A and B are shown apart, each in its own frame.
Chain A
Amino acid sequence: MTALLELDAVEARYGPVQALHGITLQVAEREVVAVLGANGAGKTTTLRAISGTVRRSGRLEFAGKPLRGGPEAVARAGIAHVPEGRGTFTELTVHENLRLGAYTRRERSVRADVDRVAQWFPWIHERAGQQAGTLSGGEQQMLAVARALMARPRLLLLDEPSLGLAPMIVREIFRIVRELNEHDGLTVLVVEQDARIALRTAARAYVLEVGRVALEGSSKELQENESVRRSYLGY
């Protein structure tokens, strides 16, 4: 199975500081893959490298073609990035957030897409006119995912969806991710601090340390791995 997304020896830096020292990973179509690691290991930077938010070097390929350019180009290529901290447009309404999600699509009406997305998040229709900044943290996270879905992406990049959210809501979000993957065949690459729930949702995972891939394998393998258990799963 050829990979949908391929990274080979990808490096990235923030000014003089090098954050990624050569990341190699693949994500196949219809897979859910997790990226784990401690703070500062480079998980968020990896997603930023993919979406072009940070300058990167090395080989990145998406659907067989090299992935170049900034975030605008990457979005057009079919990758939706839900950044750390949700990235909702807090000053705009829920509906406007969704319309923006569909920005790269050429259809005149996004009505059908909003309905489709509302199937996963039923409260969207009621709150369409509400300012996004007044939503709760969990709702904003769901809005961010909904917005990403509006673009009908081939790959969804999720950055730390559990950040600042109550466990119940986190479970709900990951349940939706799993269902999106199973029902719609959505490919997902999720970065997560909460290794437990990530490994329960994803099929495979990579563990990053200091800007490099330290471990990789199926979720089952990693769950049984001694050091992973001690460092990230707490037992």
Chain B
Amino acid sequence: MRKLTFLLACLILVGVGLVNAQSRSITGNVFSADDGQPVIGATVMVKGTTIGTITDTDGKFKINVPANAKNLLISFVGMKTVDVVAVNNISIKLESDSKQMDEVVVVATPFGIKKQKNEIGYAATTITNKFITQANATNVQQALNGKVSGVNVTTTNSGVFENAKINIRGIRSLTGNNQPMLVVDGSPVNLGYLSSIPPDDIDDITVLKSAASAAVYGPDAVNGVIMVTTKKGSGTDKLKVTLSSSLQVTKVAFFPKYQKEFGAGAGETLDKWGNYLYVPYENQQYGPRFDGSTQQIGLVLSDGSSQSGPYTNAHYSDKVKFWNSGSTFQNSISLSGKDFFFSLSNADIKGVMPNDKNQRTALRFNAGKTYGKFSINYNIDYTHQDWDVVNESALPSLFASSSSYNGSVFFAVMQTASNVPLLQYKDWQNNKFAQYSNYQNDFGLSPYWIVGNLRQKGTQHDIIGNVNATYKFANWLQLDAKLSSNMSFQSWKNTTAPIVVSDWAHANRNPTQYTSTLGKVLDGMYQYQRINFDYYLSGEKKITDDFGIKYLAGGTMRRNEAKDIELGGSNLVVPYLYNISVRSGDASVSSSSNNNFVQLANANITSSSLGAYATLGFNYKKWAFVELTGRNDWDSRLMASNRSFFYPGANASLVVSDALPSIKNEEQGLSFLKLRGSVTKSGNVNFNPYALSATYSPSSGFPYGSNAGFTANATIPNKDLKPEFVTTTEAGFEVGFFNNRVNFESTYFFQKCTNQILSVSQSDATGYPYALANAADFNNYGVEMDLNLNPLVKIGRGRISLKLNATYNNNKVTRTLNNTTVVIGGTDNFAASGLQQSGSSPTVSNVAIVGQPAFMFQMTDYARDPQGHVIVNKTTGYPSESSSTVTLGRTLPLWVLGFTPTYSIDNFSFSMTWDFKGGHYFYAGMGSDEDFAGISARSAEYGRNRFVFPNSVYDSGEKNSDGSIKYVANTNILVKDGNAGFWTGGTTNTQIATNYFASAAAWRLREVNITYTLPAKLIHQVKGLERVTVSAVGKNLLLFVPKSNQWGDPEFNYSSTGNTSGISSSFQTPASRYFGGTLTVQF
């Protein structure tokens, strides 16, 4: 940050007379009170004159002052201005000023026109590099989490890619994209790229929460913008070198609650009293209670050998130890010269999943040069990732008959009985009992075998480059043109090892799993490029001393091109040789269905858009600002007659404390007050190219020789689709007290979202189960608040400061097509994508219903009496499934709170981030599978004995006076079978979604971090050394959830991009804790 502000300081000084005659010379040093480091680029002015200079890279300055000069004013952006007596050899300490820090500029055009924050009529938050690196985040999503009001980051997995889902101010599209736009150094880039930017390269991140920014950024900005500015040249001749090294360790945590009392068995064998006996090869754990006796594990093998061990839960801990300590080892070096910045970084990531790894190397070069009126800036960055991970998506199609449920590695681990020494099966190649044919479980695979044999190796190259040329015709007019391009090349190969089953296993074991299959491969390549050409004329002019205007008019052209190739074979004949050409029978060529929100397979995809926009701003005395905006877009994805759409906007801000200086009382009262407001409309085309026609796909099996066969795909689109429109109204204020030690900022926003493009379920009898149409409207509204107490208290030299942020966000559906319930997604989609497939798992959907929030859960429930008691059968004691589904609970949080207290003293700082999300619910998709497998704590709630279904009633056989059925409370009818009979029964248990539904409220200690900067005295003993910082961090340390949540971290979601929320499954790695440390050395 300091380097950038140094440049700014230089600019500010343009027009300031630098030298004066008749003077004396004064030298001095400027230090930061925070860390004792020299402040580079601080402005030193002679009070009451225009004479000034700036400090050099060592924080030193030399200034010639008039003989009569009395005082010097030393100022620096983000620090409090100091007024000192002008004496020679002066040493000045600057204290940081949090309020001013926020007043830095935000980038408000695609090309980096900067604006003072005061000018902006909508909410924007800037996070500096210091804040990012202090948190020791391995990626930017993590850095944003809990720090900015209105920003909700959801982790989807703790794998080596660390995907996260980011929503700013909730949602604006029911089924389309709700993820913010990412702009890196002025180039629009896919959001997924965010995780591959090395945090050390980042100068600052600005989050524009408002849709108002869409006026210049175009439709993609309707969900807010995350603007990342990478470091530029330092502006000084001295070459600065920074080395940084960090290590982060990941440990699994927050498992669902499991039972630890019962072993394998599913009622295949019973004792004479009907109790379930132990079955040594079962996956379901409905066997007898652990009793310490010695029991056989698995079958007696063909050579007569077998395993046995104590029948206890001694090996429960194997299920935790199965997971590795994941690690992220990140090293970077950066060089920063006068007009360039170069960095090279490498991250070596090992997952908690055994054998999963990812390596990321990134290179960045930013530079610029000015020749008179012409200046040019260019940057290029290149990121390369190489990964090798387990490919769990191959599990559902592993066997010819998918009636075996293997779920995922997580599930395979968890459904291992607690008397089974899981860790001993690590060597699946050589250990006799770990080999495929001999594994102890007849219905569940060894997780080690899965990890060793289902793999994905992939590599990805991303190149982003842009050139920005500026010609300044005059002070009041300049032309900017920018060509930017980003390209991504991805290539991956999924391999599934052949299964070779021994003759013994073939003859003696369950054929579902003990059937030989050939090796499989899927080889894919994806190439994407986006080219943007942007140009605009802009300038500003002072009409009078107090009144000025700013103007800008420009256009943008964009072309997106992508190509995808996916070829595979499930019939590879040379064992362990994974090449499509080495096979018997046909190759498989993935074909595209027409889900309009999913990437097409084996396809060439092109889309283009044009935009033209203009803004006109007025300012008065630097305390009143009004800006009018307008933009028209043309989008190729729409029908020619609908393709053009216009959206206007306006925003205004008023710095009341400057307009009415009398209300100010810097020390004891109000020091700053700003009011702001905006109204903006924006349009967005929320579907893929080629979505306007119904399509046909080749059917599986076909072609047979020359016989081709096609089938109609599932969606019929309305050819006349229009863009989705969002009208955002927001109003807010920013206020500071006591010399800005207390800052508060709040914004109310209301977004009217119309013309929602939805894939609406319709009757199969229409021929198309889905129709694509402008089918709904909804309102999204809320309040966001940030409170900053800096410092809260000072204890001696120590300071405690506190940042609080809170967001209340709600929404309401106001219209749906034909007033019907719109199903957005849910477990049906699971089944289709092979994510969840055990026999009788519940139906759970996210739905939009008029008058309700988007989204609500709709799910299966028990049949209940009018009072809500579960009705049980009078003879069996079993409940039954209701014929209709219930609508319960919202999917998105109503409240998101963040607390970041910081304690700092001298060179040491300690901070924590706590956050809370609440008011929403989640469905634990793994719950029914865990009950089916008998591993959940729930399934052992009654000790596997018969029990009275709690809070139940039964039909007395009599009628009430009004003719309705008379239900009586059930106090004595026990369920017929309190073991597998009840717990694995679909209508009695596993098919009832409400059994796996809980509040998603959670308090979380998201982050603790400790930073220490070595004292300057110490490090200056080493020549050239400028700064040494060490820090330690712990993340996701504590989690507090309500008792009703038995399934662990509610934040995990099975999908990272879709709008379906709050549906977790066992198809993910367990949630994790992170611990790490960083060493940064600067020369």
Note whether A and B form a binding pair: no
| A residues at B contact (CB < 8 Å) | none
